[in-house]
Chains A and B, each alone.
Chain A
């Protein structure tokens, strides 16, 4: 237990000339780049950031308390509102935790549907995240609208499947709520066949773009050991070169059956994060191409799963999945009653912000917006 080991994971202290007067700026809570209500209290020495304190809680509604006061199933629609870009993966993480708690099995067809919807979610989330990042870089409109054009098509498919574009409320403990509508798989296949062209188009527009490279390369660098220690997950972690994808390490669902790679960066800067999102979209397309022809017929819900009067035996379970923004976990304690005794969401968006100050210190204030944008957060999940 050496003190040097403790210190190394803390943000550095930036030396400031004693004569210089610091300028304190509150970025947010209504700054357009914060994607919602979030504040950064920044102290500036000229243009250089010397201190940055994130302020949370503007969207806090105590989701966990609400969930503890109601039944297990009644929280399912509420999980849609956490990360409202990715309701399908939120549903899956919660369903997975309850399935571990109650020992439910998921039929094969439902597993395939879960993979298909989750990978579609990942594609639209990454496309939008890149679009928002470019918006903040000053590329007003075009990349974001390209991304939203594709996102619309995916959301239309979700609406057809679940009745809602963003608040899908689709998964159930031990399966899914309704079976696929007629012709839905063909429409997904047609979309998946078109998606590589969209990713190519996005890349042609951005990957070699000189402004993007100048502003993103070497900016907001995160070191791998700090990233691991600070619990950073998802694209943010893999951009630093750490090979950790919950789909690969936990073998949850049926991800074992598909051949896909985990893209890794080696600089840990904004550009690597952008590049990884592009590459992950390509891998998601690969998973979809394999999953769509394989999907079997059969039931979509475990017959043991009860919609009413669901009371798991006392105990606890922690279930996690690789959500588009990082590792999304649910921790549940049952006391044998119909409501969870403890219901906890492990929000990747909040924990990925732990190192925001470390990445921003010493950088230009203009780059803070980009660094923050490259983390890819949704405030509904940060504040819960």
Chain B
């Protein structure tokens, strides 16, 4: 069983110019991931299936990463005029500042791959493949990996439904769990659920209005 690092160097050798990087996982499970650029994803996926032996895509899911504020400590050196022993001198001074910047969020599609060819002897570990969208609002397209692993068919529909990632090349991209008229993506972190899920306009007011008009026409008689 290859580790993610070995697979990364193998990929870079076999598919030159492909944009893949390693995402380390600090938890005890140590399931490291390969982050692949959307443009190269299909090429990498076909390689993983046909050459590296990952013929089985177990799990496909979405993750929502919000815009977040990152605090970084920045050291700057500058020259200051300072009074040293009664003589004015130019002294270099280093100050540490905490700079806050916004890191823009993105949506992520995560695939867990296994190999069924490998037989029942080795302990099987998942190969984690990730793709990221450019942002969370208007550029949320990713290539569909359903042509590579059909098991992603319903799962990508579910990600589209609940996270709003649009999978290009999916043969039937419709909502899976929510109804077709539903507009938001409920699994997003900033989703606010309405207080009146069950609200549907009822014809009561219209009916009342018509009834009143009818009564008026009848000369006010009940």
Interfacial residues, chain A to chain B (CB-CB below 8 A) = 1, 6, 9-10, 56-57, 60, 62, 64-65, 100-103, 226, 228-232, 242-245, 248-251, 262, 312-320, 327, 329, 331, 333-334, 341-342, 344, 346, 350-351, 353-355, 383-384
Q: Tell whether, in the assembled complex, residue B55 and residue A346 are in contact, meaning their CB atoms are under 8 Å apart.
A: no
Q: Tell whether, in the assembled complex, residue A331 and residue B110 are in contact, meaning their CB atoms are under 8 Å apart.
A: yes
Further 17 A-B residue pairs, CB within 8 A, beyond A231-B152, A249-B122: A1-B46, A10-B150, A10-B171, A57-B179, A101-B28, A103-B27, A228-B55, A228-B116, A230-B149, A231-B151, A250-B123, A313-B27, A318-B58, A331-B61, A331-B112, A334-B27, A342-B61
> How would residues 56 to 67 of chain B score, 1 for a CB under 8 Å from any chain A CB and 0 otherwise?
111101010000
Across the interface, which residues of A come within 8 angstroms of B61, CB to CB?
331, 342, 344, 346
Across the interface, which residues of A come within 8 angstroms of B126, CB to CB?
318
Q: In the bound complex, how far is the Cα of B162 from the Cα of A173, in angstroms?
A: 28
Interfacial residues, chain B to chain A (CB-CB below 8 A) = 25-29, 31, 42-43, 46, 55-59, 61, 63, 110, 112, 116, 118-120, 122-124, 126, 128, 147, 149-155, 162, 171, 175-179, 186-187, 191
Shortest A258–chain B CB gap in Å is 14
Which of these, A243, A351, A384, contacts B119 with CB under 8 Å?
A: A243
Please judge, given known A-B contacts A56-B177, A230-B150, A250-B123, whether A100 and B59 are in contact too, CB under 8 Å: no
Across the interface, which residues of A come within 8 angstroms of B56, CB to CB?
228-229, 231, 244
Shortest B179–chain A CB gap in Å is 7
Which of these, A9, A103, A320, contacts B58 with CB under 8 Å?
A: A320
Across the interface, which residues of A come within 8 angstroms of B152, CB to CB?
231
Q: What would be 23 A-B contacts, judged by CB atoms less than 8 Å apart? A: A9-B150, A57-B178, A60-B178, A102-B27, A228-B116, A229-B149, A230-B149, A231-B56, A231-B149, A231-B150, A242-B116, A244-B56, A249-B120, A262-B120, A315-B25, A315-B27, A316-B25, A318-B29, A319-B29, A327-B58, A342-B63, A350-B154, A353-B154
Q: Tell whether, in the assembled complex, residue A317 and residue B29 are in contact, meaning their CB atoms are under 8 Å apart.
A: yes
Top 8 closest pairs, chain A to chain B, by CB = A315-B27, A231-B151, A103-B28, A317-B29, A57-B177, A100-B29, A60-B177, A346-B59
Which of these, B112, B128, B150, B154, contacts A229 with CB under 8 Å?
A: B150
Q: Tell whether, in the assembled complex, residue A317 and residue B46 are in contact, meaning their CB atoms are under 8 Å apart.
A: no
The residue on A at minimum CB distance from B151 is: A231
Q: In the bound complex, how far is the Cα of B112 from the Cα of A320, in angstroms?
A: 11
Main secondary structure of the interface of A (DSSP, over half): mixed
Please judge, given known A-B contacts A250-B124, A313-B27, A383-B177, whether A354 and B43 are in contact too, CB under 8 Å: no
Across the interface, which residues of B come within 8 angstroms of A230, CB to CB?
149-151, 153
Shortest A298–chain B CB gap in Å is 23
Shortest A202–chain B CB gap in Å is 28
Q: In the bound complex, how far is the Cα of B129 from the Cα of A318, in angstroms?
A: 13
Q: Tell whether, in the assembled complex, residue A312 and residue B187 are in contact, meaning their CB atoms are under 8 Å apart.
A: no
Q: Tell whether, in the assembled complex, residue B151 and residue A316 are in contact, meaning their CB atoms are under 8 Å apart.
A: no
